[in-house]
Amino acid sequence: MKISLLLDIIEKFLPRETAMEGDRLGLQVQAGNSDVRNLLITMELNDAVVEEAISINADCIIAFHPLIFQPLTQITDSERVGRLLSLLIKNGISLITMHTTFDAYKYGTSRILCDRLGMEYETFLVPDEKYQGYGMGVICSPKEKLSLSELLERLANVCHSPIRYCNGKSDSDIDRIAIVGGSGSSFIDDALQSQVDAFITADVTYHQFHRVAGKMALLDPGHYEMEQFVAKGIFDFLSSKVEPDVKLNLSGSYTNPVIYYPDLNYSEKQKNYILNKF
Distance of alpha carbon 127 from alpha carbon 62, whole angstroms: 26
What is the pLDDT at residue 172? 66
pLDDT at residue 239 greater than cutoff 60: yes
pTM of the model: 0.95
- From the list 169, 219, 232, the residue with the least C-alpha distance to 197 is 169
Task: Say which range, 117-131, 168-182, 240-254, has the weakest mean pLDDT.
Answer: 168-182
Q: Are 162 and 266 in contact (CB under 8 A)?
A: yes
- Bridge partners (DSSP) listed for residue 26: 97
In the chain, what is the straight-line distance between the N-terminal and C-terminal CA atoms, in Å? 27
- Domains belonging to the chain, first-starting first, are 3-101+227-275 (3.40.1390.30), 103-223 (3.40.1390.30)
pLDDT digits (tens, 9 = 90+) for 151-165: 999 999 999 999 999
Distance of alpha carbon 68 from alpha carbon 231, whole angstroms: 18
Mean pLDDT of all residues belonging to the chain? 95
Q: 3-state class of 260 per DSSP?
A: coil
Q: Residue-wise over 265-277: b if at least 16 C-beta within 10 A, else e?
A: ebbeebbebbeee
pLDDT digits (tens, 9 = 90+) for 35-81: 999 999 999 999 999 999 999 999 999 999 999 998 888 899 889 99
